[in-house]
Structure 1
Amino acid sequence: MSVARTHDSLAEVPAAAWDALHDGGNPFLAHAFLEGLESCGCLRPQWGWTPRHVTVWDGGTLVAAAPGYLKQNSHGEFVFDHAWAHAHARHGLDYFPKWLGAVPYSPVTGPRLLARDAAARRRLLEAIVDDARALGLSSAHVNFHTAAEDAAFDGRWLPRQDIQYQWHNTAGWPDFAAFLGDMDHRHRKNIRQERAKVARAGATFRVLHGDEATDDDLAAMHAFYFETFSDYGNAPALTLEFLHHLARTMPRALVLVLADLDGGAIAGALCLRGRDTLYGRYWGALRQVPGLHFETCYYQGIEYCLREGLARFEPGAQGEHKIARGFLPTPVRSRHWIAHDGFHAALEAWCREESEVVDATARALAGRSPFRATSDAT
């Protein structure tokens, strides 16, 4: 008989047992990453994040687990449910707290229901719902799960979809020149001009893994990140301690792109690397240079993927401007369990209509591809 448990700290779950439930291809699922967010001060109840991980055990063996959090708001999720919260409030119902199965602050697709087999995965979902009911929660959500996990959800879990812009090396480009060669003339010219502006300004670039970055490099990257968040009036959740933690515990997964000018770093992009994917997460700059954002966040990342043989580059959520730079519309998924029967029925229709809109949008955006019609890249 399997037993479900909840945990208010991932430190309660042995790292080896947790990591045995996934293949290691996605760095955001690593125990070191998720536990580091907690131990390095990146998750705080006052910011709406309270860990409540759900696990399933067969005797002393961990057979399924989900990174989970009780949320007091929808900040840092990137699957927008503000209208749902407002609708609950209008009917005198509390939407928060809710349970969220996700990687905090990270709109990246990856496994969310870690399990040794399909039966354990279904038992995990049952445990999530049982815990949500026991706590009297309005809802439970699983964000950015993989397509392979769709089969685990029953009809009570409402499906939603959205669009991100991702670079896929489906054409087998060996280098950046070949990548540009498959674009139409206008887009190819624009990218060359953007890169030329940065070069003329004198900026040079360093791409460093965690075990290659110095303390000064990590401090510079954190300063860029801090500056960006402060500029927009948001609380910068990631701490410098967390960057040092990643550099120490996941040295080859942490990738920094640093732009140097006049003897010092002026901008940087923080990325994580998986088995076949580069994930762009944060960027910041202390000086304004034409084209610097595109070079630091996109073109350096594409070159890294081509150099390292990675098949995909996910540069973050949103941003139709990415299409012109080779990042094409790609569907992403989420699932939602709603406790209230009336709201479940209403939101089921809402999700169905939303899906039709997203499908139509994806078709329209696909027509804006920068690649030539004859190219395999399209």
Structure 2
Amino acid sequence: MKKITLIIICFMSIIICWTFSSATAAYEVSRGEVVMEVSSGRLLYSHNESLTMPMASTTKIITAITIIEKCDLQSVIEVGSETTGIEGSSVYLKAGDRFTVEDLLYGLMLRSGNDCAETLAVFCSGSISAFCNEMQNTATRCGATDSRFANPHGLPCKGHYTTALDLCKITCYALKNSKFSEIVATKRHTATELSSGTKIIWQNKNKLLNFFDGADGVKTGYTKEAGRCFVGSATRGGMRVVSVVLNSPQMFERSEELLDNAFTDFNLVKIIDKSRFDYVAFTPDRKNAYKLNVENDFYYPLGINEKFEIECNIPETLPYTAKIGDKAGEIKIYLKKQLIFSQNIYTLVND
């Protein structure tokens, strides 16, 4: 069947300049850094993005999303003695304490409780090592191929590392989960120890939530080996951006700078609007016409004078046997000659 290909070339006219370099940074550049837009996964900036490094308590991002995906959050956990008294940051769980999985997730992500991490891991998988295998499976689903996990909290351990890029991919994946997003955006949570009914207030250690416009996540981290690590997220104008800084002397300040630059230099653009997709195809005798449609809108972050091409492959005619819902063509979006998105075009209504 002969098809018509329409190529539409579009420009983004934004008078800006996207420059991220050590020479222009107001704050010290971290050993590894990445900035990414969440919905598209577009990498907006990177520095040493593939360098493997320890990541301290930012490990708990993958711990949390693994628990959320595998466990009933209203299940009640009775804390065992083997997961209490864990070194480092803690919410001071005691053997016999009873909490819901959800409350312990808040303790994990707001207070960075290492005891919460081990308690959740053992509850989920029966042992720390088995849970680490689940973390690895989660990383694979995220496309994080250069990370390895030896514990659920990020305390120094041989064979426990990530890259700034991997950690950003994991975070973007996690933020698409509404419960994860809700937890990491929370400034203060009241948990209940169920045996006694005691209420416990946990404040979020993420200072970005208090002073950065649009901040909505995600996790701090520090060990002597890893240095100061931070994953931050913020949303403005419908665009959600994640920054990762590993071994960063000024982790909050540098993260704020990276996020500000992203919002200054990129806009989230609606490239495909399914409600305005207005094409019609006829049968060969032109007696019957079918409206054509696409199923999804498509948004993408675009910067200074970026040129994208829309290639719309639509049929010149449809066969007499065409039915509503049949695939009729394909629409493709290119940026810098690289395919960034495609979807099918379907017959919708027989006019």
Q: Does TM, scored on the shorter chain, surpass 0.5?
A: no
Which interval holds the TM-score relative to the shorter structure?
under 0.3
Q: TM-score, normalised by structure 1?
A: 0.25
From the two aligned structures, give the one with the greater helix fraction. Answer: 1
TM-score normalized with structure 2 length: 0.26
**Highest Rg: 1 or 2?**
2
Bigger strand fraction: 2
